[in-house]
Structure 1
């Protein structure tokens, strides 16, 4: 199991790190400003990627229940961490820590791993789980992040301008109306997931290209790492154990939930921080280090968690 996981992790890891390295080169050699790219991701590429995923997945009540459950879980974790982080960090830093606490690199990193470890039904379950996390990122998560810099009114106005929620509602309306999109539309939308991954990881590199060692904040990085690699694995393990006591949990769903708990920090931490101008350099460093730690920690975590849940 550990050998299989190690092999599964290396391909997405090297792919993502190569995109980060490309971003560093672009920042240092071409002096490209990542801020317009972050805006493009949030207002154009992310909503269309989200719409495509929902449309192709064929949302059912059970699948949407998973989306709602992960949205609520991510939101609760964010609010809890935000309350605690305000004691230890400045308002902007606490906002970034709280935002990162509710999410993870479930798409760029986790999805390639899920496609190797899970059957098609399990991958579908995993996709609807990460849709809930993505919905959190661009609603409550974005609001908490904005509150580190803006007033309540300004933060709510910024959320109202985000198109991802509208993309979610339009996808549900299209499904409810039984509308089938023409093949040419699907072909056009197919380019967005890979574009989302490429630009999302390049932004991390562009941000790191401007960072000096003097800006390394070990306390901030440690807080993010503990939340991501201590709290989340424990939370996902307890979620599977708790759900299995109340209702039948298939091995595919259990594995999907466990995988959500062991992925590194989300690249969107940097994207949102860049858009709101709240400590993007610190977020980029934390994302990079947790991503580098992933191939060492995940092969250790997952077999142990699988054994405890009785999936082995």
Structure 2
């Protein structure tokens, strides 16, 4: 597995960049406002996507342990970064940097890559890891972002209004009581994951369509790149090595965890920033930079890390 070629990632990359380009055209030529789309993603499309994924995945205690473990890791990283950066950046930038530090593009970009690199069992493991990151985005991450613009009380109220948490709990409850979601409903929700990806990446393009050179903040972008491609690969590498010392760790789970660590910045950085009105343009530039670097850095990182964890 350590012979991963950059070409294997070009398909997902060009697809995502095409969606970004469509968003740019929509903003520049059609004057489409991305803010209602961000609201639609957060309050409707993302919750249904998560509900469907959990329902189809068949959550078991072992799978849910992965979800909550990744939720905890993401939250700890974000809170630590928020404390480290709040005096070095302006309030909105610090809030956005804290949010972005706890997440990555595990869905729009990482899932297509996981489908290429992992067997079916590995993809399932990756999905439940991804759900933990998504749960962080719309709870702790959303709160940290909101604190860049709102008070503690206002931020907490906004979280209680997010339906993704309730969709997550509803899927767990349905599984626990053995309630089977009708097949017709599952089929009807099949369009939402693709819509989630399409609109999520288009929002980056729409935001870039409004960017001026004044928004180019190399210090902010550098911090985002350092966290995403410096901290996270090391964090996941040490996590895999540590788990291998404590218990037998499957190759599929090790690969899933390492992949979580090397994906580019999350497109939801822009979605949440757009919804809350905090430095969305700077976030879009940072997301674009890390996404463009992904086809080169992901094979490099995995090629270096897989032998270290005993995967050949």
Could you say whether these structures have the same fold, taking a TM-score greater than 0.5 normalized by the shorter chain as the test? yes
Query: Counterparts of 2:170 and 2:301 in 1: how far apart (Å)?
Result: 38
How many aligned positions are there?
Answer: 312
- Contact 2:224/2:286 (CA < 8 Å) preserved in 1? yes
Q: Name the structure 2 match of 1:149.
A: 149
Deviation at 1:213, TM superposition (A): 1.9
Counterpart contact for 2:51–2:168, Cα < 8 Å? yes
Q: Tell me the residue number matched to 2:82.
A: 82
Report the secondary structure of 2:55's partner residue: helix
TM-score, with length taken from structure 2: 0.99
Corresponding position of 1:205 = 205
Post-superposition shift, 1:8? 2.2
2:137 corresponds to which residue? 137
1:87 Cα shift?
1.9
Please say if 1:100 is aligned against 2:71. Answer: no
> TM-score with structure 1 length normalisation?
0.99
CA deviation after TM superposition for structure 1 residue 2, in Å: 6.5
Distance in 2, matches of 1:3 and 1:67, equals 29
> Which string of whole-angstrom CA distances, capped at 9 and with x for unpartnered residues, describes residues 95-125 of structure 1?
0001000000000000011011111000000
Secondary structure of 1:80's match? helix
Once the two structures are TM-superposed, the CA of residue 5 in structure 1 deviates from its matched residue by 3.5
Partners of 2:296 and 2:6 lie apart in 1 by 8
Instruction: Give the distance between the partners of 2:4 and 2:235, measured in 1 at CA.
Output: 24
Between the aligned partners of 1:222 and 1:186, the Cα distance in structure 2 is 42
Q: Does 2:48 match 1:48?
A: yes
Shift of 1:148: 0.7
Deviations 1:239-260 (A, max 9, x none): 0000111111100000000000
Q: Which residue of 2 aligns with 1:233?
A: 233
Q: Report the equivalent of 2:61.
A: 61
Q: CA deviation at 1:3?
A: 5.9
Match of 2:244 in 1: 244
Structure 1: gaps spanning 5 or more residues? none
Divergent runs of 4+, >3 A? 1-5
Partner of 1:258: 258
Cα distance in 2 for residues equivalent to 1:97 and 1:212: 20
Return closer, same or farther for 1:56/1:5 CA change in 2, 3 Å cut-off: farther
For the aligned residue pairs, the C-alpha RMSD in angstroms reads: 0.9
1:277-298 residue CA offsets vs partner (Å, 9 max, x unmatched): 0000000000001000001111
SS at match of 1:76: helix
**Aligned twin of 1:20:** 20
| Counterpart for residue 293 of structure 1 | 293
Deviations 1:107-162 (CA, angstroms, capped at 9, x unpaired): 00000110111110000000000000000000000000000110000000000000
Partner Cα distance (2:220, 2:134) in 1: 23
> Can you give the 5+ residue segments of structure 2 that lack an aligned partner in the other structure?
none
Paired with 1:215 and 1:197, the residues of 2 have a C-alpha distance of 25
- Matches of 1:96 and 1:220 in 2, distance apart? 10
Please state how far the C-alpha of 1:7 moved relative to its aligned partner: 2.5
CA contact (8 A) 1:2 1:300 kept: no
Query: Could you tell me how far 1:176 is from its partner in structure 2?
Result: 1.0
Secondary structure of 1:135 counterpart: helix
Compute the displacement of 1:4 (Å). 3.8
Q: Distance in 1 between matches of 2:8 and 2:188?
A: 29
The answer to whether residue 203 in structure 2 is matched with residue 195 in structure 1 is no
Report which stretch shifted further, 1-10 or 155-164.
1-10
Which position in structure 2 is the counterpart of 1:118?
118
Q: Post-superposition shift, 1:300?
A: 0.7
2:27 and 2:206 in contact (8 A); partners too: yes
